[in-house]
Structure 1
Amino acid sequence: MTPKKIEEMFERFKKANPDPRSDLQFNSPYELLVAVMLSAQATDISVNKATEKLYPVANTPESIIALGVEGLKSYVKTINLYPTKSKNIIRMSEILLEKHDGDVPADREALEALPGVGRKTANVVLNTAFNQMTMAVDTHIFRVSNRTGLAPGKNVLEVEKGLVKVIPPKYMMNAHHWLLLHGRYVCKAKNFQCENCLINDLCGYPDKTTAAR
């Protein structure tokens, strides 16, 4: 995709959704971190259903630790991989208290050192909670980047580096959410909706379901 098309693509996203937000519900960096950890291989809807019951009871490192692994499991048992996620969240909370005074660090290295926190989760937290211009690549963004020709890559790291390189800096703060929402609701893995696509005429995908609007 040419720089001119990329500029137009993100300008359209901005016009359609000037202030994009995550579908995950949270009120603090810690709540966001827990929600993103729970969201791996799970839907945001399932995570929100769990956290809307969990967070009124426990939404700080201290209160989550007080629940214990078994107590936490009872709130998140509807989420995929909940036994492992519960253990990681408890240990992550302990480390926040031990090394960071209970605060979520605004630093990639420190975040990735936490149990259950990989590069994607760290990027989401840095971008959404701390307004850093990072690019978290999930399955939706990976698909959109390759399908449209925006930033093709064989793996998520290649795509991440490609997106950081080609997206104009003025759009980077919101680019993650624009691309994720586009992939989740329009440019789906199956039954993708080219007829409802804002960027149909810019997209390089050869097998569109309809002509550009």
Structure 2
Amino acid sequence: MAKQLDYHTIHAIFSRFRDQEPEPKGELDHTNAYTLVVAVALSAQATDVGVNKATAELFKIADTPQKMLDLGEEGLIEHIKTIGLFRQKAKNVIKLSQILVDDYGGEVPSSRAALVSLPGVGRKTANVVLNMWFKQPTQAVDTHIFRLGNRTGICPGKEVVAVEHAIEDHIPAEFQQHAHHWMILHGRYVCKARKPVCSNCIIRDLCPFEEKTL
């Protein structure tokens, strides 16, 4: 785990991220807050590409909680059976859809506490929805951010919530809204787990990682 970087270095890093990609986007396809919740819930232990393939037809016929209930668990399974843990995920999607209909008038709540109370929705999923749909500066820490944060010293921490807090505490406010997107993309395509592409890294000179590849 690298030491926490200083403010000026972190500001320089995120300035470069912003210059390279001013408006980073998540890679899960969705059409509204509900389909975003479903897509992120389905993405656990699955790739965004795989989820997008499964939901391309699903969201054409079930883009609201009530439509998903009308489709039913078995109908949902037919669309998502290429995704890992699809049976449990189908159960969760149907349960959370029922709760949204019964308790929230079919609308997705903009509260983290309410979101994490839904079956299959954890803190990361809630933070993605709050950030991407409700434009709150929440930080969804995944494996890419956890690795990048600790490898570079941008936001080190021994567990996910510690990394999340390090982002909130150390990354300047002007970068908070897009911080987790920039880090996910950098971790996914450049600062890879087994062999980081340091030769193509725009923050190489600011990164203290000792095992850089050439």
Q: Normalising to structure 1: TM-score of the pair?
A: 0.97
1:94 and 2:98 equivalent? yes
Distance 1:188 1:54 in 2: 31
Aligned equivalent of 1:169, options 149, 156, 173: 173
Distance 2:107 2:206 in 1: 42
| Secondary structure in structure 2 of the residue aligned to 1:173 | coil
1:1-213 counterparts in 2 under 5 A? 1-210=5-214
Distance 1:55 1:133 in 2: 27
Offset of residue 57 of structure 1: 1.6
Distance 1:16 1:188 in 2: 18
Q: Deviations over 1:119-174 (max 9, x none)?
A: 01000000001000111100000000000011111111111111110010110000
Q: Deviations over 1:26-45 (max 9, x none)?
A: 11011110000000010000
Distance 2:195 2:107 in 1: 42
| Secondary structure in structure 2 of the residue aligned to 1:201 | helix
Q: Residue type of the partner of 1:58? A: A
Matched pairs, number: 210
The unaligned stretches of length 5 or more in structure 1 are none
Distance 1:192 1:208 in 2: 7
Q: Residue type of the partner of 1:73? A: I
Q: Residue type of the partner of 2:134? A: F
| Secondary structure in structure 1 of the residue aligned to 2:84 | coil
Q: Deviations over 1:56-103 (max 9, x none)?
A: 121110111111111100000000111000000000000001111100
Distance 1:57 1:126 in 2: 24
Distance 1:89 1:189 in 2: 31
| Secondary structure in structure 2 of the residue aligned to 1:198 | coil
The unaligned stretches of length 5 or more in structure 2 are none
Offset of residue 191 of structure 1: 2.0
Distance 2:72 2:52 in 1: 20
Q: Percent identity?
A: 52
Distance 1:206 1:3 in 2: 21
| Secondary structure in structure 2 of the residue aligned to 1:56 | helix
Q: Normalising to structure 2: TM-score of the pair?
A: 0.97
Q: Residue type of the partner of 2:200? A: N
Q: Residue type of the partner of 1:179? A: M
